[in-house]
A and B are shown apart, each in its own frame.
Chain A
Amino acid sequence: MEPRIGVFVCHCGINIASTVDVKRVVEAIKGYPGVVHAEDYVYMCSDPGQELIRSRIKEKKLNGVVVAACSPTLHEATFRNTVSQVGLNPYRCEIANIREHCSWIHTDRDKATEKAIKIVKSIVEKVKLNDELLPISIPITKRALVIGGGIAGIQAALDIANAGYEVILVEKNPSIGGHMAQLSETFPTLDCAQCILTPKMVEVGQHPNIKLYNYAEVEDLSGYVGNFKVKIRLKASYVDWSKCVGCGVCMEKCPTKVPSEFEMGLTTRKAIYVPFPQAVPNKPVIDRENCLYFKTGKCRICEKVCTFGAIKFDEQDEFVEEEVGAIIVATGYELYPIEKIGEYGGGKYKDVINGLQFERLLSASGPTGGGVQRPSDRKVPKRVAFVSCVGSRDPELHKPYCSKVCCMYLTKHAMLYKHRVPDGEPIVFYIDIRSDGKGYEEFVQRAQEEEHVTYIRGKVSKIYEDNGELVLLAVDTLTGEPLEVRVDMVVLGMAIVPSPAVYELAKKLKIQIDANGFLTEAHPKLRPVETLTPGIFLAGCAHAPKDIPDTVAQASAAASKVLEMFSQKELQHDPMVATVDEDRCSGCGVCVTLCPYGAREIEVKDGKRVAKVNEAKCEGCGSCIAGCPAGACQQRNLKDEQLVNMVKAVLE
């Protein structure tokens, strides 16, 4: 095909034009071999800009287009769509990135222009040898997997299920509900968390489209977008839930007490337990680690008292396999351990507690029935300090990021404390008050104006116990005075960290995690609920610290992404994938080892090993191509010959 390439250079307002001499780029490229047309325009991505490209394709009978503009991640799809509207194969259109790769990072106009010209020339060389490609079609299994049964997972599962598709919901704990189930009231409306959450939990439990695997974990994942196969480990609960009616006698009689995870260690549970009364499903499990029978071989009291014969000590972990087309990861968060904050006692003071513990003290269903009593002696604390940014915003020693919710929940805590203990004195220590959500600032103002909560700007340096009181070495940075504050109890707004299991899970799912262990989104602005692995989405605090409204919104967004997928007959996959020249392939298998997506495998053909590409799984990363020792792999539209020509164009 004789190349007839058109080059369209965008000013991007002044983003490009202020550093790159756009006119010079146009002039320089006009005589370049294969280029039959070149022109510039102020906003190529605008409607007139796109129209300009379309009309030039028709007028000049262009068979290739280079748009010199911003990064292809931004507008490659836009321009490919533009050219296809007038019958040009979209893969004959390429972007020359002269913004992020040129104008934004240089200051010398002359040199930047030279560089822009080279970038454009090299992309022209690429387009010359670009094949016309068609997207790859992949079938799609219209069932979703949601990992994590907190509010994010619950919301996502319900949205998908209500749209008419089946959902598999996997929760590692005996009950769904997550941390939200532990909260007493929620800011800024002071809605009772249980009242808004538990109906949703019940809905999940009863939904005909939701298959709930509680006390289960994702063991392994294979397959690819639209066609995942997930292996789920059903942890042995030692209770036959089909026989159990939830009468609770076993829990009553069990002799072993261990600190309750749900109550944040403020009270105990039994070794056979339901985490909390409103649990869904409301069926007990035996905690193997602590069960007397598993530890000593004696006891079996629960078995004796169960009139339904539901106790099964010989139960083993089981595995089930499910086929799903999309996955939402909603594994949530944990609080950063108090033990890491040595200057605040490192966990040795009973009355220095974290926010979730205080939620339990406030909760009507908590160990104190909602009366605020301090853990050490059950005394009602008359002065309580609330300390924010504990372990957060501390790149030197702990976590660099803001935990997003502490400002608000500590305000809520101070307010609720005041409601429960009207003569109590709450003191909030803060650095900045971040109250950016709807109704949040008003909420903080209410705490200050109406509830007279004392806010002291300054980070507490040390906490110690003296005479049954806690002493805080602090400072009021606004008055410039050092303070030594004595209180009865301290609530720490601990940093929020991702659920520890997410690291292993991310490896299994082949999705990325960031430096802080949170899941990485595909694009921080434009693709906030997608991972870089197609078909896997994220929601809630697994992604970053966030509050309930944001979590719910993100969960619904992830669900809608899944539903968008499910609304199509087939999935379209980018055709820029690896190819194998079977006449060259020796079947050495290096590509199989290299492929991060599991898209390469060895096939035996006529007794010989030959590598093949699963086009649906291939993401076109190029690892196998670089690694192929025999040069038998090529990538569509990034063939070696093209790359060599592109390099030559730059080095010319």
Chain B
Amino acid sequence: MGKPKFAFYWCASCGGCEETVLDLNEKILEVVDKVDIVFWPVALDFKRKDIEVMKEGEIDVAFINGAIRTSEQEEMAKLLREKAKLVVAFGACAQLGGIPGLANFWVRSDIFDRIYKKVPTVANPEGVVPQQVVEMDGYKLTLPEFYDTVKTLDQTIPVDYYLPGCPPPPDLIMNAIETILKGELPEKGTVLAPDKALCDTCPRNETKPEKLSIKDIKRPHEVIIDPEKCFLAQGIICLGPVTRSGCGERCINANMPCRGCMGPTSEVRDQGAKAVSFIASILGVEDEEKLSEEEVQKLIDKIVDPAGTFYRFSLPASLLRRRRK
């Protein structure tokens, strides 16, 4: 038996997930030693047709990052699903839709209008927007279809495991690879990360007051943030309580609040909704009885872009998935 065959593919994402593979540093050499990478468009010159000729199940693991936004991404995901024994959704975009998923607050026409016509740096007097098919000089040029809605990977194909994060932290990646190589596979559908919220490992957890209450909401640039104290206790919205741990508290250690990239814990169906619910639970509770309707509204209004704050990484995976008409 030869070495296990791995494939990497990049759908709608920023590319950070591809780079993070390299963050394994010298460990990547161990990996390469143990596996055959049969497909990795960003690094190796294998083409779609090379996959198409493979047998079903010939690839052992396909790591797919990014959300599904175009028909090409959908086709590739389906192709890899057919050829791979295991599919791992790699990173927040594949798992939850990620930042590209915020596009679900609009529809395709809005997005094209903005990107190709209204962005201040765009000069497009003829109002050209991408077309799926263009005929020119007898040639037919095609582009993949740009879908109205961004989907998560598992809304497109069945997914076996998830590696959360934006991007997934190297130790979790390494852990996952080792687990797969050893064949000690957990239950299908498992997120390959701890199942507790970030507060569990947060170095600031002990600094929480007995009763958490937000009197006034502050954005990180508005205050000098105490580097020791719980963000929420400082009035800064931190999604730590509603986000899976395992990220290595990278943001927290850089004195920035958690933005939720690791997704929710396994018991939570809708990270954004839970986030809204928990923030609402602690917002202004101390003076609850004294606050007038207007004062409450004023307090809530200090959350700039609530949808983007609470669903930053998880809109396509939420119960509503997208803006409804």
Which A residues are closer than 8 A to B by beta carbons?
A: 507, 581, 583-590, 592-594, 602, 608-609, 623, 626-632, 640
Contacts and interface: CB of A to CB of B under 8 A. Distances in A.
5 contacts: A507-B289, A587-B208, A629-B277, A630-B196, A632-B265
Contacts of A585: 196, 200
B324 interface: no
Interface stretch (B62-70, B156-164, B175-183, B237-245): B237-245
**Chain B residues touching A, range:** 20 to 34
A624 to B, nearest CB: 9
Contact of A590 (B198, B267, B282, B289): B282
B198 A586 contact: yes
Interface of B: 195-200, 202, 205-206, 208, 210-213, 240-242, 245, 264-268, 274-275, 277-278, 281-282, 285, 289
A151 B281 CA distance: 42
Given A583-B195, A602-B210, A631-B264, 18 more contacts: A584-B197, A586-B198, A586-B241, A586-B245, A588-B278, A589-B210, A589-B211, A590-B241, A593-B213, A593-B282, A593-B285, A602-B208, A626-B277, A629-B268, A629-B277, A630-B265, A630-B268, A632-B197
B101 to A, nearest CB: 20
A590 B212 contact: yes
Contacts of B245: 586
Contacts of B281: 590, 593-594, 623, 627
Contacts of A507: 289
* Nearest 6 pairs of A and B residues by beta carbon: A631-B267, A586-B197, A588-B241, A629-B242, A586-B200, A586-B199
A391 B12 CA distance: 69
Contacts of B195: 583-584
Contacts of B264: 630-631
A608 B241 CA distance: 14
A583 B278 contact: no
Contact of B205 (A584, A587, A590, A593): A587
Contacts of B208: 587-589, 602, 609
B274 A631 contact: yes
B187 to A, nearest CB: 15
B62 to A, nearest CB: 29
Contacts of B265: 584, 630-632
Contacts of B241: 586, 588, 590, 629-630
A609 B197 CA distance: 12
B266 to A, nearest CB: 7
B278 A584 contact: no
Contacts of A609: 199-200, 205-206, 208
Contacts of B198: 586
B212 A589 contact: yes
Contact of B211 (A593, A623, A632, A640): A593
A535 B306 CA distance: 42
**Most chain B C-beta atoms within 10 Å of own C-beta, residue among A581, A585, A586, A602:** A586
Contacts of A586: 196-200, 202, 205, 240-241, 245
Nearest to B244: A630
Given A593-B211, A609-B205, A629-B241, A588 B267 contact: no
B196 A583 contact: yes
Nearest to B208: A589
Contacts of B202: 586
Contacts of A593: 211-213, 281-282, 285
Contacts of B210: 589, 592, 602
Contacts of B242: 629-630
Contacts of B200: 585-587, 608-609
Nearest to B195: A584
A580 to B, nearest CB: 12
Contact of B267 (A592, A594, A627, A630): A630
Contact of A629 (B211, B278, B289): B278
A602 B205 CA distance: 11
Contacts of B211: 589, 592-593
A590 to B, nearest CB: 5
Nearest to B242: A629
B236 to A, nearest CB: 14
B285 A588 contact: no
B242 to A, nearest CB: 4
